Amino acid sequence: MYFHSNVLHQIPSTLASVDAVERYTQLTVNPLHRTNKPGILSLDILYSKDLIATAGADSNAVLFDRPSGQVVSTLSGHSKKVTSVKFVADGELVVTGSADKTVRVWQGSEDGNYDCRNILKDHTAEVQAVTIHATNNYFVTASLDSTWCFYELASGLCLTQVEDTSGSSEGYTSAAFHPDGLILGTGTSGAIVKIWDVKSQANVARFDGHIGAVTAISFSENGYFLATAAQDGVKLWDLRRLKNFRTFTPYDENTPTQSVEFDHSGSYLALGGSDIRVYQVAKVKSEWNCIKTFPDLSGTGKTTCVKFGPDAKYIAVGSMDRNLRIFGLPEEDGGAMES
């Protein structure tokens, strides 16, 4: 009853075609963050300005302007690695979660710098995920302390902190809002995926079957599918029937899948581990074809996060070698992209 989305599913005419995605190659490699603690752990993209935010193992978040290839701001203040970073709405605000147990809300200023507006200290262990509500008025943080917090953005107040009463003491390792904002998905260190009704804070569904911590979770734009990543690969869940209908096991058992992400139109699904793979989204009973596999990066640092740019015109990848890599169409290939 919670999973019928009202989102009208229209594919934008500007969306990159399958044909184009098949021809994507590496366009740029941008070393961000410090070398003494290398690693990009999370990234987000502000489509309206083509800004990319990266969360670093060096305890900073970096805002990178993709068209110019320049770092526009460094957000310093956390004392340990930044595990999650998210833009809010038009990008005037950025929210970061950290292993230092705190969440910070950053406010953009006229000069392009970001100042810390709130430091939120409601968690007692590493904050592993931040997710922004569809209205841009609220956000949720999920922590290894086995709670998630529901915040009001304007005030920075924690309106509710939800403890897991099921008796399992596993912490949260990932979280994402459904596009309609009515439900929240969380992944645990104990391989469980839990679906929550945001209003009542009731745990309305749970999915078992993964091995290892659930590292990433992504809802499709029409709200029907949920993709979850863990040690054993990616599972796809049909939210209308609450069933796992497909599993991708791209890697060997020692290589966890670190990232999984639907593009904004719900047409493509990317996953990342030692390499990056892009699938064409299909119906439950149809084949989901892998249309592109990008080169293995495990020699230089495993992939930690993958995200599609606007209209899937490029794919941004963060990895433990501190490089932000951009894959897309080179200019001479008919792509209208700055190199």
pLDDT confidence of residue 336:
46
Q: Report yes or no: 120 and 103 within 8 Å, Cβ to Cβ.
A: yes
CA 22 to each of CA 110, 277, 292, 302, 330: distance values in angstroms, whole numbers, following the listed order: 40, 11, 5, 22, 12
Q: Tell me which amino acid residue 160 is.
A: T
Domain architecture of the chain: domains with CATH: 41-309 (2.130.10.10)
Tell me the C-alpha distance between 74 and 311, whole Å.
27
Using left for φ > 0, alpha for ψ between -120 and 50, and beta otherwise, residue 273 falls in alpha
One digit per residue, pLDDT tens: the chain, 339 residues? 445 544 455 778 899 999 999 999 999 888 888 777 878 999 999 999 999 999 999 999 999 999 999 999 999 999 999 999 999 977 789 999 999 999 999 999 888 789 999 999 999 999 999 999 999 999 999 999 999 999 999 999 999 999 977 766 689 999 999 998 999 999 999 999 999 999 999 999 999 989 999 999 999 988 899 999 999 999 999 999 999 999 999 888 888 899 999 999 999 999 999 889 999 999 999 999 999 998 766 566 688 899 999 999 999 999 888 889 999 998 765 544 443
pLDDT in tens, 247-303: 999 888 888 899 999 999 999 999 999 889 999 999 999 999 999 998 766 566 688
Identify the H or E element spanning 158.
strand 158-163
Identity of residue 111: D
